[in-house]
């Protein structure tokens, strides 16, 4: 072989090793620099040293056990090997191996050690929980041991046993190979001795160690019964407690005896002893471990399952409700009414203005068209619902989003623009959730660039630049080039958006309401003025416009203050421009890990983070608020759920960040233990301990001291914007489907189980999402900002229950689940049935048919369910978007559909729809926009009492009645009209 060819392989291997080493070094060092920049170096070092420790210990144990086994097998090789065809065939292998024996030894031992160490380093979370575990203060019902043993100790002991198993098995295999290769073990032998005494002793010891480990595993399996799925419910069942537990104890004793027999063979050196031990172990495993429990299950439990399993079902119910935080849920039987009188309806009139009509998933398109400003800005597909004070200081549901930068314009998308020029988004955008202008657009409370509106006036000036968000390049470099800040249009100083100041009407009265064909309908374009403005924004800078530039002056990112760091980042991102661009100086900073979820999960690798971060203006800056969960799959008897599946609905694809959580995404314990904030300008991450009683959080605080700060350090303004998290609520409602049943017999029957209804406004079978809205919960003194959901019976569509949780962190009721359970004798339409009623009602179809037959796009908004006047009211906004309108069209709210009981109606606004529903359009609801009476009039009305009408009212009624009769040329009526007018004059004078 030519010398050049012989050198090619080692040179290529060396190059690969060097490149891999550089990539590893670059990632390692840049990670360290990132943690240092955010102030969480201790997290990086704790994880690093824990991984190193576990790697070293596991590698050492594996190397010692396997290496010692190989070494002993070689030292115990027979001096004289019998001549046989088998041994003659092996001689060739021995002759090839012997010259390189030590090399093969170290390669084999080293490779196994590296594999073991790498696997063990991945179990660092289990180790940290094991050494820092904090008691729950609750004992399991079977063994009386604290839950902490099952959550923290038991998993690590199983891992430890697994590695020892692997080491002993590999040592046994290696010993057999070496003994066979050097004649200590023979497959063919005329004398009948297939193993030398030394080999027999060696293998007996290894088998004894294996069986001893098996004994430990059997004993540990007893505690693992609390996670059994053999019975009717999760957790130890009747068979587990009365058969399997006893069987495991017996198998433990038998395994110890067998291990002793294997060790005794060192002295007796009799092949029959280990063979008999193995036979006894296998036979007992089959008879005691398998056959006996199956006999008990099939012949004792199955014929009497309900009676025998009842105590264990009760354990499962109690543990599951406690583990998921639903044990204290307040359940109320709600005998919902299905009919209302005008008087009862009028009494609920104050509820109407607070109903959120703006659908966060639909108005996103409106935000995009009216507030995108430039084509490179972006809003999420589903906006968030928060609360902000209006001009009067009253908190209202508010649709919020930040204007993020998705990247430079398509025709200017190059490395320089993407990473140095177009670096940040700009501004908060907000709209009142319960206000819609006459054209069907949301009423903006914060809008335009620079930001202006009610939010700025109430919250004060704030930093609007968004360097950290969910969109944009994976990294940007600041303090290099001048950065694009925002467009400046000197031709227009006033915003062309509906605002609180110029909104014509939040809920226009029926006579002022637009017809369905107003605005965008039947393929008509958007109003010319809006379309022109929208197209102008989408195309770029208007003629005569200019743009403002900015240089970052925050502390976010990692300084690029030396050439070595630039080399590492150039390697990390495989981009030579980082190294060669002359605008990048020692003052420049590189900003990466920009997604708030990524930042929180990186500084808190022990948390599962919520999939719905949301922005808020707090203390003069925009911050992302992220909910963090501590989870476990080690709560005894608690039913497990797939986290990803439980949180999947219309608004999410189940991409919750399972950051340090569990294999298979299964959990059976969850707490919202941490509220995290990420500064949108400088990226500062702060973790606040929200549930300071959570033992899992205390355990992690012991492992990572100083990473979580006390919730008392939260500002009052931040607390106002906290809310009950979406994913936790969805997991709890998944559990509540079955575990609202607390009686074992009823649970066994399963007749009362519920389902989460499918979203009737969307195609496909996907769960209806929970909705945030302000509701008047029955029995509450005032409305509460809540997260709500509905349930239907299994395999049926009528409503079974309504669940809400108070989402106002300043309320004493925050986090308390409240359940309205409907009697089975009352049939209340569920979401799917109400949607069907909307689609089939003649009056509704009369309004919708012209729209659907045109080329307009009709979109059904979120179907809200809320307690109303002793019943349950459904409200669904209907949006219309001009077909073929291109970039200028966006959804406009044109109609509102409502349902109560089995009746449905439609109107141009909520008040109109309710009037049509209850009184055929006669208007029993007071007009919320009617001019308020003077203080003297209100005082007069209060003094006159509620039971009798005033003289003025009587006179007015008499005058109207007489006037109507007078139109028929009735002389008597004319006389009555005169008298009524005199009475009216007299009453007015009084």
Residue 664 pLDDT level (bands cut at 50, 70, 90): low
pLDDT for position 542: 36
Listed in sequence order, the DSSP H helices in 576-665 are 577-580, 596-603, 643-646
Residue 390 pLDDT level (bands cut at 50, 70, 90): confident
Ordered DSSP codes for 873-902: EEEEEEEEE-TT-GGG---EEEEEEEEETT
Q: Which of 159-163, 510-514, 804-808 has the lowest mean pLDDT?
A: 510-514
Average pLDDT value for the chain: 83
Q: Which of 123-127, 166-170, 900-904 has the lowest mean pLDDT?
A: 900-904
pLDDT for position 2: 58
The answer to whether 463 and 674 are in contact (CB under 8 A) is no
Per-residue pLDDT, averaged over 507-520, amounts to 37
CA 689 to chain centre: 18
- The yes-or-no verdict on residue 490 having pLDDT over 60 is no
Ordered DSSP codes for 947-973: SS--HHHHHHHHHHHHHHHHTTT-HHH
Query: What is the spatial distance between Cα 216 and Cα 508, in angstroms, rounded to a whole number?
Result: 75
- Nearest C-alpha neighbor of 420 from the set 480, 335, 461: 480
Tokens of 966: 């007078």
Query: What is the spatial distance between Cα 506 and Cα 912, in angstroms, rounded to a whole number?
Result: 12
- The yes-or-no verdict on residue 520 having pLDDT over 50 is no
Per-residue pLDDT, averaged over 188-208, amounts to 78
Q: What is the pLDDT of residues 461-471, one digit of tens each?
A: 899 999 999 99
Query: What is the spatial distance between Cα 427 and Cα 810, in angstroms, rounded to a whole number?
Result: 27
The answer to whether 900 and 917 are in contact (CB under 8 A) is yes
More confident: 170 or 889: 170
pLDDT for position 519: 36
Residue with tokens 């300008």: 681
- The yes-or-no verdict on residue 159 having pLDDT over 90 is yes
pLDDT for position 954: 58
pTM value? 0.85
User: What's the sign of the alpha-carbon dihedral 914, 919, 924, 930?
Assistant: positive
Residue 398 pLDDT level (bands cut at 50, 70, 90): very high
Query: What is the spatial distance between Cα 928 and Cα 506, in angstroms, rounded to a whole number?
Result: 9
CA 541 to chain centre: 39
- The yes-or-no verdict on residue 149 having pLDDT over 90 is yes
pLDDT for position 941: 38
- The yes-or-no verdict on residue 89 having pLDDT over 70 is no
Ordered DSSP codes for 330-349: EEEE--------HHHHHHTG
- The yes-or-no verdict on residue 102 having pLDDT over 70 is yes
- The yes-or-no verdict on residue 968 having pLDDT over 70 is no
Give ∠ CA 640-645-646 in degrees, rounded to 5.
65
The answer to whether 690 and 710 are in contact (CB under 8 A) is no
Q: What is the pLDDT of residues 674-711, one digit of tens each?
A: 999 999 999 999 999 999 899 999 999 999 999 999 99
- The yes-or-no verdict on residue 153 having pLDDT over 50 is yes
- The yes-or-no verdict on residue 596 having pLDDT over 50 is yes
The answer to whether 459 and 389 are in contact (CB under 8 A) is no
pLDDT for position 719: 94
Beta bridge partners of 628: 609, 674
Query: Of all residues in the chain, what percent carry a pLDDT higher than 70?
Result: 81
Q: What is the pLDDT of residues 716-753, one digit of tens each?
A: 999 999 999 999 999 999 999 999 999 999 999 998 99
More confident: 809 or 277: 809
- The yes-or-no verdict on residue 5 having pLDDT over 80 is no
The answer to whether 626 and 691 are in contact (CB under 8 A) is no
pLDDT for position 929: 46
Three-state SS for 56-85 is: HHHHHHHHHHHHHHHHHHHHCCCCCCCCCH
- State the DSSP code for 519: S
Query: Of all residues in the chain, what percent carry a pLDDT higher than 90?
Result: 56
Residue 673 pLDDT level (bands cut at 50, 70, 90): very high
The answer to whether 918 and 924 are in contact (CB under 8 A) is yes
More confident: 338 or 126: 126
The answer to whether 772 and 786 are in contact (CB under 8 A) is yes
């Amino acid at each position: 072989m030519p010398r050049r060819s012989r050198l090619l392989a080692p040179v290529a291997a060396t190059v690969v090793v060097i490149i891999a080493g550089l990539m590893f070094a670059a990632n390692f060092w840049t990670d360290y620099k990132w943690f240092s920049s955010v102030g969480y170096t201790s997290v990086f070092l704790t994880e690093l040293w824990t991984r190193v420790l576990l790697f070293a210990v596991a590698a050492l144990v594996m190397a010692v056990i396997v290496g010692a086994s190989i070494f002993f097998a070689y030292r115990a090789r027979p001096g004289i090997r019998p001549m046989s065809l088998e041994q003659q065939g092996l001689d060739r292998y021995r002759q090839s191996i012997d010259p390189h024996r030590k090399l093969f030894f170290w390669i084999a031992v080293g490779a196994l050690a590296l594999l073991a160490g790498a696997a063990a380093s991945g179990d660092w979370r289990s180790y940290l929980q094991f050494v820092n575990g904090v008691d729950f203060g609750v004992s399991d019902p079977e063994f009386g041991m604290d839950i902490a043993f099952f959550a923290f100790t038991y998993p690590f002991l199983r891992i430890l046993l697994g590695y020892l198993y692997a080491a002993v098995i590999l040592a046994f295999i290696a010993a057999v190979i070496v003994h066979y290769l050097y004649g200590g073990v023979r497959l063919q032998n005329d004398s009948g001795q297939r193993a030398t005494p030394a080999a027999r002793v060696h293998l007996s010891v290894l088998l004894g160690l294996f069986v001893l480990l098996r004994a430990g595993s059997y004993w540990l399996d007893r505690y693992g019964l609390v996670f059994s799925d053999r019975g009717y419910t999760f957790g130890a069942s009747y068979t587990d407690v009365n058969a399997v537990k006893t069987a495991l104890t017996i198998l433990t004793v038998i395994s110890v005896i067998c291990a002793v027999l294997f060790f005794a063979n060192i002295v007796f050196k009799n092949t029959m002893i280990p063979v008999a031990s193995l036979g006894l172990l296998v036979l007992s495993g089959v008879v005691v471990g398998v056959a006996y429990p199956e006999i008990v299950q099939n012949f004792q439990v199955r014929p009497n399952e309900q009676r025998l399993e009842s105590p264990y079902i009760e354990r499962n119910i109690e543990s599951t409700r406690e583990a998921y935080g639903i044990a204290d849920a307040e359940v109320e039987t709600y005998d919902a009414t299905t009919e209302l009188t005008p008087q009862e309806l009028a009494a609920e009139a104050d509820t109407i203005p607070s109903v959120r009509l703006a659908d966060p998933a639909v108005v996103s398109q409106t935000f995009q068209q009216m507030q995108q400003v430039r084509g490179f800005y972006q809003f999420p597909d589903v906006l968030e619902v928060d609360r902000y004070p209006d001009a009067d200081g009253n908190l209202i549901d508010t649709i919020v989003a930040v204007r993020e930068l998705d990247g430079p314009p398509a025709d200017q998308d190059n490395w320089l623009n993407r990473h140095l020029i177009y670096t940040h988004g700009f501004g908060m955008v907000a709209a009142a959730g319960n206000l819609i202008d006459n054209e069907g657009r949301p009423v903006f409370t914060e809008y335009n660039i620079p930001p202006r509106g009610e939010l700025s006036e109430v919250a004060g000036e704030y930093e609007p630049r968004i360097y950290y968000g969910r969109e944009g390049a994976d990294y940007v470099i600041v303090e290099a080039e001048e950065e694009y800040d925002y467009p400046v249009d000197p031709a227009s100083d006033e915003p062309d958006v509906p605002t609180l100041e110029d909104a014509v009407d939040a809920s226009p009265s029926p006579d002022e309401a637009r017809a369905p064909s107003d605005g965008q309908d039947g393929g008509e374009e958007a109003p010319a003025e809006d379309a022109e403005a929208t197209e102008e924004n989408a195309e770029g800078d208007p003629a005569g416009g200019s743009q403002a530039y900015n240089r970052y002056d925050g502390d976010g990112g990692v300084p690029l203050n030396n050439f070595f760091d630039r080399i590492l980042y150039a390697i990390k991102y495989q981009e030579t421009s980082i190294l060669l661009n002359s605008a990048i100086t020692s003052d420049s900073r590189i900003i990466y890990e920009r997604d708030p979820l990524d930042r929180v999960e990186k500084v808190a690798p022990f948390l599962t983070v919520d999939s719905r971060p949301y922005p808020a203006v707090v203390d003069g800056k925009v911050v992302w608020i992220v909910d963090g969960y501590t989870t476990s799959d080690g709560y005894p008897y608690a039913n497990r759920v797939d986290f990803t599946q439980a949180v999947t609905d219309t608004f999410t694809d189940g991409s919750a960040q399972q950051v340090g959580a569990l294999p298979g995404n299964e959990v059976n314990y969850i707490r919202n233990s941490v509220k995290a904030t990420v500064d949108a300008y400088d990226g500062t991450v702060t973790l606040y301990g929200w549930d300071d009683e959570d033992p899992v959080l205390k355990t992690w605080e012991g492992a990572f001291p100083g990473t979580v700060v006390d919730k008392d350090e939260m500002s009052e303004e931040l607390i106002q914007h906290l809310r009950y998290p979406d994913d936790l609520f969805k997991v709890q409602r998944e559990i509540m489907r079955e575990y609202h049943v607390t009686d074992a017999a009823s649970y066994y029957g399963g007749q009362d189980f519920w389902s989460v209804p499918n979203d009737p406004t969307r195609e496909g079978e996907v769960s209806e999402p929970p909705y945030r809205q302000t509701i008047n919960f029955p029995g509450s003194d005032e409305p509460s900002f809540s997260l709500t959901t509905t349930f239907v019976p299994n395999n049926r569509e009528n409503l079974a229950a309504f669940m809400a949780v108070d989402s106002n962190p300043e309320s004493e009721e925050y986090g308390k689940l409240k359940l309205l359970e409907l009697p089975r004798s009352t049939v209340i339409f569920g979401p799917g049935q109400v949607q069907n009623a909307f689609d089939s009602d003649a009056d509704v179809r009369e309004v919708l048919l012209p729209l659907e037959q045109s080329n307009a796009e009709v979109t059904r908004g979120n179907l809200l369910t809320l307690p109303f006047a002793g019943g349950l009211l459904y409200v669904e906004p209907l949006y219309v978007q001009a077909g073929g309108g291109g970039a200028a069209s966006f959804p406009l709210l044109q109609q509102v559909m409502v349902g109560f009981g089995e009746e449905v109606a439609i109107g141009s606004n909520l008040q109109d729809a309710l009037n049509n529903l209850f009184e055929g359009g006669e208007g029993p609801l007071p007009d919320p926009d009617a001019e308020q009476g003077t203080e003297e009039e209100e005082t007069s009305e209060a003094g006159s009492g509620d039971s009798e009408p005033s003289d003025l009212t009587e006179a007015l009624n008499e005058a109207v009645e007489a006037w109507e009769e007078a139109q028929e040329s009735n002389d008597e009526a004319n006389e009555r009209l005169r008298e009524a007018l005199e009475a009216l004059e007299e009453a007015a004078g009084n």
